[in-house]
Chains A and B, each alone.
Chain A
Amino acid sequence: MKHYSQLSPEQRRAKLYSIFSCVVICLIAFTFLFPLYWIITGSFKTKTEILSSTPVWVPSEWVMTNYENLMSKRTAPLFDFSLFGYTITGPTIPGAIRWLLNTVVMSVSSMLLTCLTAAMAGYALAKKRFYGRTILFSLIVCAMALPKQVILIPLVREMSALNLYDTIWSVIIPIVGWPFGVFLLKQFAEGIPTEMVEACRIDGASEWRTFTDVMFPMIKPGVGACAIFTFINSWNDYFMQLIMLMSTKELTISVGIATMQGENSTDFGILMAGSALASIPIIIVFLIFQKYFTKGITMGAVKG
């Protein structure tokens, strides 16, 4: 490391700039952290401190009341399904736990389904020449542009005709159909040199083998990104969950917490406890999938 005075003016400026940007980013990062900090500490505050008119930075007394309320106010079976006319019901557990499980199952299912269908479709859109390609791609862009609110009513009718209303499938299916993943992975797949795919075909590999052995490994980072975005999007797809899910045992955590609110009074304690609890799994997922981001995202950029 050279001493500061030994640097050329340009290097000095660069150094100063990087220190400056580091400080600014730390400050901004602080404001990004703050809501989560406030939610987590808030979930341990008493009602008086939550409503306090002067900011209570750290709870003066850490209480579990909010978590107790969250856990005790609603109950649901751990699982339940029907088999040959028999209904099998699991033990009764706090509703919030079931909601968390539902949310995880919903997000993971939509993530897996989206990644699979989107990787295949993205590959086809990027590397295959077929009739209707332009039309399909335009439709995909139009569909992304369409506000979800206006398709809700036809969607509810469809789901109830298919007997899927009030099941987590009614939330999963529209997410899988939503073409963000396809768009993302098409961008990725376009970055893979076409020669590689062709070489593989000439070697006599089947279409499917070409996809699984050549294409998929190369777009893996893209699939990782698609996985995490889908996971988080479906986790946060509040409005769809709100409309499609009704039974206490089918709810997701955010919608479930909403049903605990009274008239003209928001129970911030429960809200914060639930949100704190719900953010833990999602942060874990983010950290797991992080490693896919660090190497090899070459979205659409043709190398060399």
Chain B
Amino acid sequence: MVKTPVQYNKKQRRLVMQENVAAYAFLLPFLIFFVGFVLYPMFMCVYTSFFDATMGREDIFVGLKNYQDLFQDEVFWIALRNTLVIVVVSVPITCIFSLWVASAISKMPVAATSAFRCIFYLPVVTGSVAVTMVWKWMFNNYYGIFNYLGKDVLGILDKNINWLGDEKYALWCIILILLTTSVGQPIVLYVSALDNVDKSLVEAAEVDGATPKQAFWKIKWPQMMPTTLYILVITTINSFQCFALIQLLTSGGPKNSTMTIMYYIYYSAFKLYKYGYGNAMGVILAIIIAILSAIQFKAGQEK
């Protein structure tokens, strides 16, 4: 960071200038897209959140009313709670599970590693609509595979469970599907990160009598920290933005038990045309995610 440029002499200042010009030259192509098609709409989103905006009439400025309404909206709080449950459950599981799978498959022969990596990526690859349809069928109350296996084959269940229609299970079913679609990328990254851990350090530690467990946590884990940080941030964002599953499976029900903020935003903005309200919710969600990401960055950097 350049803190107080005044202290520099002329030559240094020229160098600083050069560095700045070069940096922005490299950033330029990205910035064109970013500023034009992400930042500008983002600014419009924040701007609209102060208006009572809907289809077919001029927007009316209402100040912070959308935000006030939001905090009094019961469904918003339910949605926030559900979203947090999804994040709190799925982020650690995704990270731990993918680390475990990655460390197990990276020891296998190359072909097996490739095969497993591909398999764990498949649910992402196959396209969300079709995969969700298959899951929906598996959870079906009358002829789904879970009830079929549970009742007719294994005999654990006395009667059919309406998995997606039962408040007790619905959110967990969503989390389960979310997990299958979100571990692919972390596994890919962890396998490569494990591959690239400095082998000589691990060997040295083993010579010094470290158990594989110690070698893993003391040597490999710190080296994989940046990967973990990236995975944490991405998984957190993805879990917060869980939307397609809800839209395709439960529409937020039963009794709002799977209502997430993303689905509620979609519902408010696209079904009820409350653009200002939806955007206010989007801003709140973005703030929450940004704060969490900042915390993750801080924690990751300190380690």
Contact = CB atoms under 8 A, between A and B. Distances in A.
Nearest to B29: A117
Interface in A161-183: 173-174, 176-180, 182-183
Nearest to A266: B133
Given A128-B19, A184-B230, A39 B41 contact: no
Interface string A260-304: 000000101001101100110011001100100111111111011
B26 interface: yes
B126 A279 contact: yes
A297 B120 contact: no
Contacts of B118: 283, 286-287, 290
B226 A145 contact: no
A132 B293 CA distance: 20
Contacts of B294: 141
A150 B45 CA distance: 6
A164 to B, nearest CB: 10
A34 B134 contact: yes
B237 A151 contact: no
B34 A177 contact: yes
Contacts of B135: 35
B129 A120 contact: no
B123 interface: yes
B52 to A, nearest CB: 15
Interface string B178-222: 001000010011011101101000000000000110000000000
Interface stretch (B66-74, B87-95, B160-168, B262-270): B262-270
Contact of A293 (B34, B117, B125, B266): B117
Interface stretch (B6-14, B249-257, B274-282): B274-282
A128 B26 contact: yes
Contacts of B29: 116-117, 120-121
Given A146-B282, A286-B125, A141 B37 contact: no
Contacts of B101: 25, 28
Given A54-B143, A141-B290, A254 B37 contact: no
B124 interface: yes
Contacts of B196: 295-298, 301
A29 B130 contact: no
Interface string B94-116: 00000011001101101000101
A28 B31 CA distance: 42
Question: Which of the listed residues B114, B125, B227, B229 has the most CB atoms from chain A within 10 Å of its own CB?
Answer: B125
B42 A225 contact: no
A232 B127 CA distance: 9
A282 B38 contact: no
A146 B279 CA distance: 10
Given A18-B104, A25-B105, A150-B45, A182 B282 contact: no
Contact of B286 (A31, A145, A238, A293): A145
A131 interface: yes
A207 B22 contact: yes
Nearest to A173: B37
Contacts of A21: 100, 104
A49 to B, nearest CB: 12
Most-contacted residue by chain A among B26, B42, B126, B279 (CB, 10 A) = B26
Contact of B290 (A142, A257, A299): A142
Contacts of A133: 1, 23
Contacts of A142: 42, 286, 290
B122 A258 contact: no
A178 B288 CA distance: 19
Interface string A218-231: 00010001001100
Interface stretch (A76-84, A93-101, A152-160): A152-160
Contacts of B142: 53
Nearest to A52: B143
A111 interface: no
B145 interface: yes
A5 to B, nearest CB: 21
Interface in A29-62: 29, 31-36, 38-39, 52-55
Contacts of B180: 31-32
A286 B275 contact: no
Contact of B227 (A145, A239, A300): A300
Contacts of B279: 150
Nearest to B47: A154
Contact of A177 (B36, B126, B143, B193): B36
B265 A254 contact: no
- What 10 pairs between A and B have smallest CB-CB spacing? A300-B226, A150-B282, A145-B289, A275-B130, A297-B192, A177-B33, A128-B23, A151-B41, A121-B30, A130-B23
Given A18-B104, A236-B128, 7 more contacts: A33-B119, A35-B134, A121-B30, A128-B19, A128-B22, A152-B41, A183-B233
24 contacts: A35-B126, A39-B134, A116-B29, A121-B26, A121-B31, A124-B27, A142-B42, A149-B266, A149-B269, A151-B42, A155-B37, A177-B33, A183-B233, A187-B226, A207-B22, A229-B185, A239-B243, A272-B133, A275-B130, A287-B114, A293-B188, A296-B196, A299-B193, A300-B226
Interface of B: 1-2, 16, 19-20, 22-27, 29-31, 33-34, 36-42, 44-45, 48, 100-101, 104-105, 107-108, 110, 114, 116-131, 133-135, 137, 142-143, 145, 148, 180, 185, 188-189, 191-193, 195-196, 198, 211-212, 223-227, 229-230, 233-234, 237, 240-241, 243-244, 261-262, 265-266, 269-270, 275, 278-279, 281-283, 285-290, 293-294
